[in-house]
Amino acid sequence: MGCSSSSTKTRKSETSLKAALIIQNWYRGYKARLKARQHYALTIFQSIEYADEQGQMQLSTFFSFMFENYAHVHKEELELRKQSLESEQDMRDRHDYVDLIDVPDSYNGPRLQFPLTCTDIDLLLEAFKEQQILHAHYVLEVLFETKKVLKQMPNFTHVQTSPSKELTICGDLHGKLDDLFMIFYKNGLPSENNPYVFNGDFVDRGKNSIEILMILCVSFLVYPNDLHLNRGNHEDFMMNLRYGFTKEILHKYKLHGKRILQILEELYAWLPIGTIVDNEILVIHGGISETTDLNLLHHVERNKMKSVLIPPTETNRDYDTDSKHNKVGVTFNAHGRIKTNGSPIEHLPKHEWEQIIDILWSDPRGKNGCFPNTGRGGGCYFGPDVTSKILNKYQLKMLIRSHECKPEGYEICHDGKVVTIFSASNYYEEGSNRGAYIKLCSGTAPRFFQYQVTKATCFQPLRQRVYTMESSAIKILKERVISRKSDLTRAFQLQDHRKSGKLSLSQWAFCMENILGLNLPWRSLSSNLVNIDKNGNVEYMSSFQNIHIEKPVQEAHSTLVETLYRYRSDLEIIFNAIDTDHSGLISVEEFRAMWKLFSAHYNVLIDDSQVNKLANLMDLNKDGSIDFNEFLKAFYVVHRYEDLMKPGVTNLG
């Protein structure tokens, strides 16, 4: 009996163990599939983000083209936004910006006392936690004071650490105020004994960029030797036009927003471009290239780098000996040099401009060498050999950079010599990524601290969080697809020799990548984008099902609608450049002339008569003006049957 009972128990234990192993293996597989789906969603977000940045960088070549051809546009009404051309000497003095703006007794927000103290930091933090808005008078005063101190600083700040004084390095925050609150909660406020480096990209994308900028600037003014600000690629007024900070300022400060934006343009240009820690760690926003020259970068006149979208203009084209003017004093002289109100615009030499572009925009890759950053359109991809070469050349041990969202908030590569730190959690979508910061102390390895600002997602299982990410990723990908419907349809039909309406999965994937250029795993994504028959063939016109671009006027041709939708962000920036009085209106003639330049530069094959007809239709009250913001907002994507996408249906894995 005893032996029989023991044998039965043994068999039960073995069965239980096998069952546990089966469940464990299933769960591991299930979690791996969820992680794969999460990875695919992040890949979509990142590919589209970088494609947008590439479009933004391409605008710089358009502006160069526009500057070169501007004098030959027959409509002299065309004007460039004064902000983009104005030299620092033309800025109004502080009196016009600060002293003439009164703070009324009815204002119940924070009141800053200059010179600032740590009390003002606390006051600001508490006010922003209560969603209060800092009065424009204080915003402008903080910006003026910050610029005054920044102008005294070198291009690279040198910082020393010690066991009693560790240095905290934070990456991109992108207007996500809750992440900054989280960092201060976990790590303490800036002080003489708790120094920080904020490594660029404080603004854009998030809804609280001005609050973050104010906290950082006030902290910098209180502790100028212990809080360090590096410039990122989004500390650029032209980037702000596309990515949200400009709209945030004009929304929160309707009366004085334009003044704030003008001062910001100057402040950005004076931000240091890097930090060197303990003479062995280089901290810059983007990265390096094989030609990075730190000796040169220490001495460039960084304040001349107004925007990546205003590159140096070097042209030998001779115009008429008489200068050509437009009506606001933008001058093209005999050598094609642009002048404003009689003062020449100062640019960095081209090779210095390129050096700064590289350190603001570059990304590391595992492959050796240095090659163009085709994803972003600016800077380069640099490999481990380039990292070793540059670090060895300048007796450095490590490069710390930001600029890229990482799922865990940080990433180490190039044999431990390159660290990416990203501090904006939930960057693409709730639950998409953690944020992180680094603590450095001389003689010890960097320590990483992760966090994630959680709201509803803290109670959601991984499956639900992944579904939320997938749904959002697929939605923005479909918007990119529908904006190229005509081009994709032509590509599909060229491959469809039998005129069957179907292609093989490989043919469909080839067409998608060839037209969209997003470098995505189209085969894996196909089940979420198209209908596939039982033989594995793709019904290619289903790529556009349940989604369309709303036409502002029904007479508009589909190709024109797609083109205007696709380039709407670029056109908004260009039209803002024309709109010197910030009225939101441009003349029909200005619209036609600028479109002519735009279509020529971008090789947009649309008959001008279509654009002329559409412009006339959009001039609703026939006064010769177009509200271009409303005009561009009229082109939007409509998603139908979104409620049919359930967690069990969407599966990027």
Radius of gyration of the CA atoms of the chain, in A = 27
329 found inside a domain: no
Q: Which parts of the chain register pLDDT below 50? A: 71-91, 315-344, 457, 642-650, 653
From residue 169, how far is each of 121, 123, 450 by CA, in Å?
Answer: 19, 24, 13
408, 505: one domain: no
Q: Which of 430, 449, 468 is the last residue of a domain?
A: 449
Rounded Cα gap, residues 218 and 221, in angstroms: 5
CATH code of the domain in which 567 resides: 1.10.238.10
- The continuous run of DSSP H or E covering 448 comes out as strand 447-451
Whose structure tokens read 């299982």? 461
CATH code of the domain in which 247 resides: 3.60.21.10
653 found inside a domain: no
Q: Are strands 281-283 and 398-401 parallel, antiparallel or unpaired?
A: parallel
How many domains are there within the chain? 3
From residue 350, how far is each of 273, 284, 346, 509, 566 by CA, in Å?
Answer: 17, 20, 12, 40, 30
Q: Could you tell me which of 434, 404, 400 has the C-alpha nearest to residue 414?
A: 400
Q: What pLDDT is stored for residue 560 in this prediction?
A: 75
371, 490: one domain: no
502, 577: one domain: no
Name 413's bridge partners. 418
Q: What pLDDT is stored for residue 68 in this prediction?
A: 63
512, 367: one domain: no
Domain limits at 296? 92-115+123-313+349-449
Rounded Cα gap, residues 43 and 227, in angstroms: 34
Active site residues: 234
Give, as one character, the DSSP assignment of residue 345.
Answer: P
Whose structure tokens read 């083209």? 65
529 found inside a domain: yes
Q: What pLDDT is stored for residue 80 in this prediction?
A: 40
151 found inside a domain: yes
378 found inside a domain: yes
Structure tokens at 130: 């209560």
Maximal CA-CA distance, the chain: 115
Contacts of 183 (CB under 8 A, 6+ apart): 168, 170, 423, 435, 437, 451
Contacts of 226 (CB under 8 A, 6+ apart): 190, 191, 192, 194, 195, 196
- Identify residue 624 by its one-letter amino acid code: G
Q: Is 281 helix (H, G, I), strand (E, B) or coil?
A: strand
Region class of 131: left (phi > 0), else alpha (psi between -120 and 50), else beta: left
221, 261: one domain: yes
What pTM value is reported for the model?
A: 0.84
281, 404: one domain: yes
534, 574: one domain: no
